[in-house]
Amino acid sequence: MILRKSLIAASAAIVAIGLAACGSGDSSDSASAASPAPSTGLPAAANGPAPLVLQQQLELIADPAKTAPDKAAVIADGNTRLANLETLTKALANYSVTFAVSDVKTEGPVTTAQVAVTSPHGTMPVPMTWKNVDGTWLLSSESACGLLAMGGAACQ
C-alpha cells in the first residue's frame, strides 16, 4: 500500500511538472468529439467493468466541457471534490490528456487497472482503483486525488 501511494505521488508530481511547464498559454486543441457520457457512475458488470468503461470515466473527468457535478458523479465521494474539479477543469482548458486503461482486475467491490496517462509531455503509467458503490463503479477517492494533483488541484 505504501509503494502504491508512493507511485501515485511520484506520477502526480511528474505530470504536475509537465502541466506547469506547459503553462496556461498552451494553444493545443483540447476539443474532441463529444461522446455521450453518463452523468452518473457506471453500472457494475457481473465480472467488473470493461477497460473502455473505465477509460470513459477518466475522459469525462478530464473533459473541460463537462461540469464539476458531472465529474463528481463518477468519483467516490466526488461531491467533496467540487472545488478541486473546477481547478482541474480550468487547468485542462487548453491541454490535451488521454487515457489508455489496461490490466483490469476485479476482486469483490474493488477494481484495479493500469492507466497510461498521455499528455504533450509524454506517457506515464499510473495504477488506479475503482469501487463498486451500491452497484455502480466509481473512481476511488484516492485515484481521483492523484488525477487532481496532476492538474494542480491536489486534495487536502
Closest CA to 2 of 152, 149, 142, 156: 142
Q: Could you tell me which residue, 104 or 30, shows the higher pLDDT?
A: 104
Strands of the 42-43 sheet, one edge to the other: 42-43, 136-139, 122-133, 110-119, 98-107
By the 8 A CB rule, do 36 and 56 touch? no
pTM for this model (two decimals): 0.71
Q: What tens digit of pLDDT does each residue of 10-63 get?
A: 344 333 333 333 333 333 333 333 333 333 454 445 578 999 999 999 999 999
CATH of 2-23+43-150, one of 3.40.50, 3.10.620, 3.10.450, 1.25.10: 3.10.450
> Could you report how far apart the first and last alpha carbons of the chain are, in Å?
19
Q: Are 133 and 117 in contact (CB under 8 A)?
A: no
> Average pLDDT in the 81-93 region?
92
Distance, in Å, from the CA atom of 124 to the CA atom of 122, rounded to the nearest integer, reads: 7
